[in-house]
């Protein structure tokens, strides 16, 4: 037996507060930026279908698993796993699972804040443009009128080499994240989610309807939902699973940490269902928001990570009221990114509070500041440090800068490893009665969930992990 870790005294004020915060954690850059990017790069329909399969069969059961570890353990991710292991008479070494997750959250936060900084920059550019046209008496003008498409697209390259600007935006975003987390679960995290998430949903629906009427909706639907299975290569499958984990905030302590603040009365299974459903719904709606606009002006759906930042502003130039919609579009992404970065910072912060006895503001400061410093290395690697290789000895990271290495290492290695360990821990090691009562599932439904957690999830994740890390095994 190992000693139980200090348990938390904080909690959500209601079930809805938890749902909003958890959906806020899940819905982020992953949905609005990464999902459309990857769906575009991987050929659309078949990728989307496979992604949905991963969500339902692997993601959903793991969302429930992570939340239940948190609620049963009532501590930070490391402490919660340790507590559940202790209660189940298992080794304290399982705390390693919590460690992998907390470190993943911390590392993701570092580059997430840099990308969110780009969002703030674009929101600023488009906002200035909109208010300029508004005061000039042309509220429905297209975005960035007087600029050529090349100038608009050039902005991103210019931004990447403008270190003071990148740094300023990164500082603003991390600063806001810190300010929210330092205020606590009730006054900070929950409040932010209660304001930002409804605003996010309103904007999402509004811009999607706009695109449906003014863009090329039919082509977008065909692109996203007509599967061409020849495009579903093994690397595309790896990408889809990794994206499902990232998007649902799995393997990165966020759900365990938030789970610890859930009351005993809350039924976990329907809540987990809502989180997975909302997250996937938003990803698909984000696709239906972005691609009609992309197709309307004949842009390349496979543009990659620059799709949202480089292609869309140029598209908004040609669309009616593009200046207003473009501005709202980046505000929307900013809201989504903030509720996610809050959860990324809360994971290590709660570790500092529970395991180190630090005050919340101190803990939040220590972790946001250190993630900020790592983030600086990421943003420098976009220009002056672009030749530095952190894991150059490893073929899949041989060509990637610091930014992409941290992104790739967390996404391709840490999250799947954590998901695999979670499935093994909850499926095979944790006390079965404890698990059953936490899920609140009965009979066949519990059996089905257990089958997915014990067998399907670990085997699928392990396969994808091996082939993702050693693509040579597949001969491509
Ligand atoms: N799920 C978030 C997104 O889609 C990112 C995230 C990952 C948040 C891991 C918390 C933990 O953007």
Q: How far apart are CA 346 and CA 215, in angstroms?
A: 39
- Span 108-123, pLDDT tens digits: 999 999 999 999 999 9
Tell me the Cα Rg of the chain. 22
Buried b (16+ CB within 10 A) or exposed e, 257-278: bbbbbbeeebebbebbeebbeb
- Best of 21, 23, 24, 26 to mutate for ligand 1, by most ligand atoms within 8 A of CB? 26
- Residue 2 pLDDT > 60: no
CA of 29, closest atom in ligand 1: 12
* pLDDT confidence bin for 475, thresholds 50/70/90: low
- Span 165-191, pLDDT tens digits: 999 999 999 999 999 999 999 999 999
Q: Which residue has the higher pLDDT, 356 or 139?
A: 356
Report the pocket of ligand 1 as residue ranges, CB < 6 Å. Answer: 25-26, 28-31, 105, 108, 246-247, 249, 252, 254, 340, 343-344
Q: How far is the CA of 279 from the centre of ligand 1 (A)?
A: 10
- Best of 343, 350, 407 to mutate for ligand 1, by most ligand atoms within 8 A of CB? 343
Best CA proximity match to 301, nearest among 407, 211, 219, 210? 219
Best CA proximity match to 140, nearest among 326, 295, 5? 326
- Span 302-352, pLDDT tens digits: 988 888 998 899 899 988 999 999 999 999 999 999 999 999 999 999 999
Q: How far is the CA of 165 from the centre of ligand 1 (A)?
A: 25
- Span 42-92, pLDDT tens digits: 989 999 999 999 999 999 999 999 999 999 999 999 999 999 999 999 999
Q: How far is the CA of 360 from the centre of ligand 1 (A)?
A: 22
- Span 445-464, pLDDT tens digits: 999 999 999 999 999 999 88
CA of 279, closest atom in ligand 1: 4
Fold of 15-474: Amino acid/polyamine transporter I (1.20.1740)
- Span 224-243, pLDDT tens digits: 999 999 988 888 888 898 89
Q: How far apart are CA 463 and CA 381, in angstroms?
A: 32
Residue 153 burial by Cβ neighbours in a 10 Å radius (0-12, 13-18, 19+): middle
Asked whether 279 and 87 are in contact (CB, 8 A), the reply is: no
Residue 29 burial by Cβ neighbours in a 10 Å radius (0-12, 13-18, 19+): buried
Q: How far is the CA of 339 from the centre of ligand 1 (A)?
A: 9
- Best of 51, 173, 177, 252 to mutate for ligand 1, by most ligand atoms within 8 A of CB? 252
Give the residue, by CA position, lying nearest to ligand 1 atom 6. 249
Question: Hey, what are 78's tokens?
Answer: 């490391």
* Residue in this structure with the two tokens 């205020």, named with its chain if needed: 183
């Amino acid at each position: 037996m190992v000693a139980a870790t200090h348990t938390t005294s904080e909690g959500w004020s209601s079930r809805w507060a938890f749902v909003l915060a958890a959906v806020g954690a899940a819905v982020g850059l992953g949905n609005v930026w990464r999902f459309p990017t990857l769906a575009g790069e991987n050929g659309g329909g078949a990728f989307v279908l496979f992604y949905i399969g991963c969500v339902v069969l692997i993601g959903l059961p793991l969302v429930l698993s992570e939340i239940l570890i948190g609620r049963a353990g009532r501590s930070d991710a490391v402490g919660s796993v340790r507590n559940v292991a202790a209660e189940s008479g298992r080794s304290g070494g399982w705390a390693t699972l919590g460690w992998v997750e907390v470190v993943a959250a911390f590392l993701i936060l570092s580059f997430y804040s840099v990308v969110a900084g780009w969002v703030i920059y674009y929101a600023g550019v488009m906002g200035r443009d909109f208010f300029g046209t508004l005061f000039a008496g042309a509220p429905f003008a297209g975005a960035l009128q007087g600029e050529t498409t090349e100038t608009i697209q050039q902005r991103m390259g210019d931004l990447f080499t403008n270190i003071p600007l990148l740094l300023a935006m990164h500082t603003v975003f991390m600063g806001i994240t810190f300010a929210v987390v330092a205020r606590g679960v009730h006054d900070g995290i929950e409040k932010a989610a209660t304001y930002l998430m409804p605003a996010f949903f309103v904007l999402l629906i509004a811009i999607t309807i706009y695109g449906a009427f003014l863009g090329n909706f039919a082509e977008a639907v065909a692109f996203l939902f007509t599967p061409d299975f020849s495009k579903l290569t093994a690397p595309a499958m790896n990408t889809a699973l990794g994206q499902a984990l990232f998007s649902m905030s799995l393997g990165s302590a966020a759900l365990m940490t938030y789970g610890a603040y859930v009351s005993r009365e809350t039924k976990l299974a329907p809540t987990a269902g809502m989180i997975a459903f909302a997250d996937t719904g938003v990803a698909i709606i984000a696709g239906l928001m972005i691609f009609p606009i992309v197709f309307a002006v004949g842009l390349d759906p496979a543009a990659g990570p620059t799709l949202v930042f480089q292609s869309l502003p140029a598209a908004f130039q040609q669309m009616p009221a593009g200046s207003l919609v473009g501005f709202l579009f980046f505000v929307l992404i900013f809201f989504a990114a903030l509720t996610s970065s809050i959860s990324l910072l809360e994971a290590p912060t709660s570790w500092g509070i529970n395991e180190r006895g630090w005050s919340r503001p101190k803990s939040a400061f220590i972790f946001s500041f250190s993630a900020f410093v790592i983030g600086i290395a990421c943003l420098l690697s976009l220009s002056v440090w672009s030749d530095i290789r952190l894991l150059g000895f490893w073929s899949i990271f041989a060509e990637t800068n610091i930014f992409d290495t941290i992104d790739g290492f967390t996404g391709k290695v840490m999250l799947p490893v954590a998901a695999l360990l979670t499935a093994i821990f909850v499926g095979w090691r944790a006390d079965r009665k404890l698990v059953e009562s936490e899920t609140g599932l009965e009979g066949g439904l519990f059996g089905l969930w257990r089958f997915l957690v014990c067998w399907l999830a670990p085997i699928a994740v392990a396969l994808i992990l091996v082939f993702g890390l050693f693509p040579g095994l597949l001969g491509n």
